[in-house]
C-alpha cells in the first residue's frame, strides 16, 4: 500500500529462436513465441526472457488473479495462439516498506585505533549494515547541516540513501548483502554530542521525495580536549575472582579462621607498577572482625616486588617491577589476569577465640588504585560516562560455620537439603572453605546423619 505492485515473470526458451512478443497489462496477458524467426535450425541454447506487469496502487488485502500466457505460432497464417491460465494469490500489506534505519548495523565515531575524538580534529564516522536481500543498493552517504540551532555548534547530520530498485525487472533472493561508508565531520569543540543519522529508501533515483520511507537514529559521542589528541585511553579496573562463588560469597574461612581472595586487574596499557589499598567493611557497614594477614603477587605479577602494611580496616600496598611491564594490557572480551592474592584472618580475642561477630559477611574493596607504565606514566581508574553509575567490584567473605554449606552466612534448611543431595550424589557439592570440591564420601569415623 503506497507503493505500486508489480508482477515480474521470468522464463527461458529451450533454443535461440524464442522471443517475447509483448504484453497487455490490462488483461494480465503476456505473449511469447517459441520460434519467432521460423528457422528450421534453432541453436540449442537456453534463451531467458522476462516481463513486468504493473498493477498500480492497490488497497491492502488479499488478491486472487489469473495470468494469461499466450504461446503464439507465428510461422502460420494467420498466427495460432494457445492460451494458458496461471492462477495465483498474493497479499498487499498495510505497510510494506521497512524502516530504512534497520539497514544500519554499526556506527563508529572516532579514529580506528580507538583513541578518543579530539577538539580541532576532523571526526571520522564509519557506518555499515546489510540489506535482507539482493534487490537493494546503497547509493551513498552525505553530510547536511544540523536542524539544531543554538549558541554552540552542532555536528552535521549524516544522510544515508538506499535504493530498492523497484523500477527494475529483478527477482529478489533473500541473500544478506553488506554495505559500508565513511564520512568525516568538521572539527567540534570539546563536549558531549549526539550525531543524527537519517536513512531514506528511494526507487531508482538519487533524490528524496515526500512520502519516501525514512528512519532516524541518534548516536552519542564525546569530543575530548585538544591536549588528549592521539592518546589511547589509559585506564585500569580491579576485579575480584568470582569463579568459586557460592550463593552471595566468594570464599569462607578454614578451620584456622583464614580466607583467601584474588584480585584481577584489567588495564588498557601494560603496567610496571601498581599502588592502592584494600578496605574491608562488614555488611552492616561497620569495620572490624577481619584483617589482612598477607598479600602475595600472583600471575604475571608474581616476580614483582611488593611492600605492604596493615592498617585499620584493610591494608596499603605498593607493587613494582625492576624492569619491563609484567602486568599485560587486556583486550576487550579477555579475562583480566590475577595480580594479588589476599589472605584474610578473623580477629582473635585475648583468650584465643574468635571475636564476637557483628556480621556474618565482609565486603572487600580495592581503593585508590594508581598504575604506572614502563616509562613511569600514570594510569588511573577507567572513567565513568556522565549519567551512568558503575558500582565497584567487591570480594565477599562469609562466616560459613559447621552447617553453612552454601556459605550464605546462615545455617538453615537450605543447607540441610543441599547436604542430602550432595551425599546422595544427585546434586552438586558446593566448594569447601578452601575452594576445592566437597567430597561426596563420608569421612572415616563420621556419621552421614546431619548433626
As a 3-state breakdown, the chain gives helix, strand, coil percent values, each rounded to 5, of 5, 45, 50
- Chain segment 303-353, per-residue pLDDT in tens: 999 999 998 889 999 999 998 999 999 876 678 999 999 999 887 654 555
| Contacts of 207-215 spanning 24+ positions with Cβ under 8 A | 208/161, 211/2, 213/97, 213/98, 213/99, 213/100, 214/99, 214/100, 215/99, 215/100, 215/101, 215/102
Checking if the pLDDT of 105 tops 50, the result is yes
Distance CA 230, CA 187 (A): 15
Model pLDDT, residue 450: 28
What are the residue ranges of helices labelled H in 15-134?
Answer: none
pLDDT, mean of residues 32-44: 88
Distance CA 277, CA 369 (A): 7
The per-residue b/e assignment along 13-50, b for 16 or more CB within 10 angstroms, e otherwise, is bebebbbbeebeeeebebbbbbbbeeeeebeeeebeee
DSSP state of 246: B
- Chain segment 146-180, per-residue pLDDT in tens: 988 778 899 999 999 999 888 887 677 777 889 99
What is the CA 400 to chain-centroid distance, rounded? Answer: 38
Checking if the pLDDT of 434 tops 50, the result is no
Helices then strands, each counted (H, E), the chain: 1, 25
Under 8 Å between Cβ of 260 and 341: yes
Angle (CA) 291-294-298 rounded to 5° is 130
What is the domain partition of the chain in residue ranges?
A: 5-92, 100-228, 235-398
Under 8 Å between Cβ of 31 and 18: no
- Give every CB contact of residue 445 below 8 A, 6+ residues apart in sequence: none
3-state secondary structure of 255: coil
Q: What integer best gives the mean pLDDT of the chain?
A: 80
Output the CA torsion sign for 100, 197, 229, 231. Answer: negative
Radius of gyration of the chain (CA): 36
pTM of this structure:
0.43
DSSP state of 99: P
**CA nearest 172: which of 214, 131, 129, 215?**
131
Model pLDDT, residue 411: 55
Write the CATH number of the domain with boundaries 235-398: 2.60.40.680
C-alpha cell recorded at residue 383? 572513567
Amino acid at each position: 500500500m503506497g507503493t505500486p505492485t508489480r508482477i515480474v515473470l521470468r522464463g527461458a526458451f529451450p533454443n535461440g529462436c524464442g522471443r517475447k512478443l509483448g504484453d497487455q497489462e490490462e488483461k494480465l496477458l503476456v505473449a511469447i513465441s517459441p520460434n519467432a524467426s521460423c528457422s528450421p535450425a534453432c541453436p540449442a541454447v537456453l534463451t531467458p526472457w522476462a516481463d513486468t506487469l504493473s498493477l498500480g496502487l492497490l488497497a491492502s488485502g488479499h488478491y486472487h488473479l489469473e495470468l494469461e500466457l499466450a504461446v503464439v505460432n507465428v510461422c502460420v497464417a494467420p498466427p495460432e495462439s494457445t492460451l494458458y491460465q496461471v492462477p495465483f494469490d498474493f497479499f498487499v500489506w498495510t505497510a510494506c516498506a521497512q524502516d530504512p534505519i534497520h539497514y544500519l548495523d554499526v556506527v563508529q565515531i572516532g579514529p580506528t585505533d580507538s583513541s578518543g575524538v579530539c577538539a580541532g580534529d576532523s571526526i571520522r564516522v564509519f557506518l555499515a549494515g546489510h540489506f535482507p536481500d539482493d534487490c537493494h543498493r546503497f547509493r551513498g552517504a552525505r553530510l547536511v547541516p544540523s536542524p539544531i540551532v543554538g549558541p554552540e555548534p552542532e555536528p552535521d547530520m549524516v544522510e544515508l540513501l538506499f535504493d530498492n530498485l523497484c523500477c527494475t525487472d529483478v527477482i529478489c533472493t533473500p541473500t544478506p548483502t553488506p554495505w559500508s561508508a565513511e564520512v568525516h565531520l568538521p572539527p567540534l569543540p570539546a563536549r558531549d554530542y549526539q550525531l543524527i543519522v537519517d536513512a531514506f529508501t528511494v526507487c531508482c533515483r538519487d533524490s528524496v521525495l515526500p512520502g519516501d520511507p525514512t528512519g532516524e537514529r541518534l548516536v552519542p559521542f564525546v569530543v575530548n580536549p585538544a591536549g588528549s589528541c592521539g592518546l589511547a585511553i589509559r585506564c585500569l579496573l580491579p576485579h575480584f575472582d568470582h569463579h568459586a562463588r557460592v550463593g552471595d560469597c566468594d570464599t569462607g574461612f578454614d578451620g584456622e579462621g583464614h580466607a583467601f581472595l584474588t584480585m584481577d586487574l584489567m588495564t588498557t596499557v601494560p603496567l610496571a607498577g601498581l599502588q592502592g589499598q584494600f578496605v574491608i567493611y562488614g555488611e552492616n557497614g561497620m569495620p572490624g572482625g577481619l584483617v589482612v594477614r598477607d598479600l602475595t603477587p600472583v600471575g604475571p605479577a608474581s616476580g614483582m616486588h611488593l611492600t605492604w602494611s596493615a592498617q585499620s580496616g584493610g591494608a596499603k600496598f605498593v607493587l613494582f617491577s625492576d624492569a619491563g611491564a609484567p602486568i599485560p594490557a587486556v583486550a576487550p572480551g579477555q579475562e583480566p589476569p590475577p595480580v594479588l592474592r589476599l589472605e584474610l584472618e578473623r580477629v582473635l580475642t585475648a583468650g584465643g577465640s574468635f571475636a564476637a561477630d557483628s556480621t556474618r559477611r565482609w565486603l572487600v574493596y580495592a581503593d585508590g588504585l594508581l598504575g604506572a607504565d614502563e616509562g613511569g606514566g600514570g594510569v588511573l581508574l577507567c572513567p565513568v560516562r556522565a549519567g551512568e553509575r558503575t558500582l565497584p567490584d567487591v570480594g565477599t567473605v562469609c562466616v560459613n560455620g559447621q552447617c553453612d554449606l552454601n556459605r550464605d552466612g546462615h545455617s538453615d534448611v537450605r543447607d540441610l537439603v543441599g547436604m542430602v543431595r550432595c551425599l546422595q550424589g544427585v546434586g552438586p557439592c558446593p566448594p569447601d572453605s578452601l575452594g576445592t570440591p566437597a567430597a561426596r564420601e563420608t569421612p572415616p569415623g563420621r556419621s552421614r546423619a546431619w548433626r
